[in-house]
């Protein structure tokens, strides 16, 4: 089996974990917590960072820290993971959804301003699959309408927007450290900001909102504390971030070369005006000419022992939200099409050159007939055009 992801733990991970065990610091009180927070904040150019148990937890903390109120609205993409909308809805905040671009997978920035109302209090940026959102126009909108900005950079450790690290934008940003991310702590997340009071609130919400008198609480918080052992992994991984980014781009560029002749798929956009793809995952969409669905292609690849994952199911189509009466009138066709046509193939950091070649070879096999039909169709059109030209010439 070629798994869709296998993490790479070939640095100081064992050394630092042994240090946790030898010293007995295995809980959230250990020294690697503050070290990981400081080093990650320094790396992306933030003043403060708060570790937590997951990217989902980080979103919960970020939303709570901004002190948004019930009935407020936050604009966000429909094409993303449910954690983004869930963090808002759990607190009585209304997500207002925008569609995404078919090529970059990111929210259509031009559609945001029309969604802003008197109730709008924030915009949630979510970078998807390896390319960033075009951030500057969103920051300009936020300034114009006095809105907060939440940057979900869960997939983007090491990525840059116009030379500036992702995770450094907006009022608050978050990372995930799940095993398929560039940096992993097994499970884990982080909230980052530049405001001291916001950072204090984030750390309070992470730790059950304990007050000065430990068991007296003014607000309800969460037990979202990361362990010292997880933070030790994060420190070791961060030491190798430049090599990790290089490996991600190597994998993406190799797939680009090997898969470019498959006529029925769209390959990921390699570069935009503001960023170069980091290929967090290698995301493919099927062209309309392909007679197979994404699910059919994924099933065939599975028969060849090639792991895949589907694209996100749009927020406006999620049954749990529709049952709440949310998004019933939303029509966001690109988000729906991305789910129907998209999937991603193995692209983890431990993936070998031989495995990349194997995946490519099998993907050719699975899609060869669809590609051949398109090729034959194009040849037939070519000869028909030539025949018409010859006939007209003889006339």
92-136 pLDDT, tens per residue? 999 999 999 999 999 999 999 999 999 999 999 999 999 999 999
The pLDDT assigned to 143 comes to: 98
- Write out pLDDT tens, residues 17-72: 999 999 999 999 999 999 999 999 999 999 999 999 999 999 999 999 998 999 99
Mean confidence (pLDDT) of the chain: 94
Mean pLDDT calculated for residue range 236-241: 98
The pLDDT assigned to 188 comes to: 98
User: pTM value?
Assistant: 0.92
What is 242-382's CATH topology?
A: 3.90.1150
- Write out pLDDT tens, residues 267-283: 999 999 999 999 999 99
Q: Which residues 6+ apart lie within 8 Å of 45 measured at CB?
A: 164, 165, 168
The pLDDT assigned to 67 comes to: 85
Region of poorest pLDDT, from 220-224, 237-241, 365-369: 365-369
The pLDDT assigned to 315 comes to: 98
pLDDT over 60 at 331, yes or no? yes
Euclidean distance between CA atoms 344 and 252, whole angstroms: 12
pLDDT over 70 at 379, yes or no? no
Q: Which residues 6+ apart lie within 8 Å of 30 measured at CB?
A: 20, 23, 227, 228, 229, 231, 232
pLDDT over 80 at 373, yes or no? no
> Are 219 and 211 spatial neighbours (Cβ–Cβ below 8 Å)?
no
Mean pLDDT calculated for residue range 135-141: 98
Region of poorest pLDDT, from 7-21, 179-193, 314-328, 365-379: 365-379
**378 confidence band (pLDDT: 50, 70, 90):** low
Region of poorest pLDDT, from 246-260, 341-355, 361-375: 361-375
Q: What does the DSSP 8-state code read for residue 225?
A: P
> Are 192 and 172 spatial neighbours (Cβ–Cβ below 8 Å)?
yes
- Write out pLDDT tens, residues 342-355: 999 999 999 999 99
Nearest to 270 by CA among 291, 242, 251: 251
Q: Where are the alpha helices (DSSP H) in the chain?
A: 13-23, 31-44, 55-65, 82-89, 135-145, 196-206, 228-238, 241-259, 294-303, 319-323, 333-341, 353-394
**395 confidence band (pLDDT: 50, 70, 90):** low
Euclidean distance between CA atoms 93 and 120, whole angstroms: 10
pLDDT over 70 at 377, yes or no? no
At the top level of CATH, which class does the domain 13-240 belong to?
Answer: alpha beta
Domains of the chain by residue range: 13-240, 242-382
Dihedral, 243, 244, 250, 253 alpha carbons, nearest 10: -140
**211 confidence band (pLDDT: 50, 70, 90):** confident
The pLDDT assigned to 214 comes to: 87
**368 confidence band (pLDDT: 50, 70, 90):** confident
Mean pLDDT calculated for residue range 10-23: 98
Nearest to 148 by CA among 207, 86, 72, 218: 72
Mean pLDDT calculated for residue range 69-81: 97
Q: Which residue has the higher pLDDT, 75 or 390?
A: 75
The pLDDT assigned to 73 comes to: 98
């Amino acid at each position: 089996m070629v798994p869709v992801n296998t993490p790479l733990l070939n640095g100081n991970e064992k050394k630092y974990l042994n240090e946790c065990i030898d010293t007995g610091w295995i809980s959230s009180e250990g020294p690697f917590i503050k070290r990981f927070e400081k080093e990650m904040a320094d790396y992306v150019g933030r003043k403060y960072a708060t570790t937590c148990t997951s990217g989902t937890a980080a979103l919960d903390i970020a939303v709570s820290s901004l002190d948004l109120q019930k009935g407020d609205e936050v604009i966000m993409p429909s094409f993303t993971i449910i954690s983004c909308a869930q963090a808002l809805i759990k607190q009585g905040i209304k997500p207002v959804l925008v569609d995404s671009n078919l090529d970059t997978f990111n929210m259509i920035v031009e559609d945001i301003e029309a969604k802003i109302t008197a109730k709008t209090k924030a915009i949630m940026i979510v970078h998807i699959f390896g390319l960033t959102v075009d951030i500057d126009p969103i920051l300009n909108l936020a300034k114009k309408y006095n809105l907060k900005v939440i940057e979900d950079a869960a997939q983007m450790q090491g990525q840059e927007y116009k030379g500036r690290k992702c995770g450094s934008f907006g009022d608050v940003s978050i990372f995930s450290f799940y095993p398929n991310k560039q940096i992993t702590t097994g499970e884990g997340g982080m909230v980052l900001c530049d405001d001291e009071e916001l950072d204090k609130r984030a750390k309070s919400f992470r730790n059950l909102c304990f007050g000065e008198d430990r068991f007296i609480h003014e607000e309800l918080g969460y037990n979202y504390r990361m362990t010292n052992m997880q933070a030790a992994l994060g420190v070791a991984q961060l030491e190798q971030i430049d090599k990790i980014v290089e490996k991600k781009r190597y994998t993406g560029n190799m797939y680009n070369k090997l898969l470019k002749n498959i006529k029925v798929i769209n390959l990921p956009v390699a570069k935009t005006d503001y960023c170069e793809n980091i290929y967090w995952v290698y995301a493919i969409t099927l062209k309309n000419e392909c007679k197979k669905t994404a699910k059919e292609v994924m099933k065939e690849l599975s028969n060849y022992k090639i792991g895949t994952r589907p694209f996100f199911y749009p927020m406006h189509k999620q049954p749990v939200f529709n049952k709440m009466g949310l998004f019933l009138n939303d029509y966001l066709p690109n988000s729906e099409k991305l789910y129907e046509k998209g999937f991603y193939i193995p692209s983890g950091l431990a993936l070998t050159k031989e495995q990349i070649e194997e995946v490519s070879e099998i993907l050719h096999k699975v899609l060869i007939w669809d590609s051949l039909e398109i090729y034959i169709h194009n040849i037939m059109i070519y000869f028909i055009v030539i025949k018409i030209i010859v006939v007209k010439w003889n006339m």
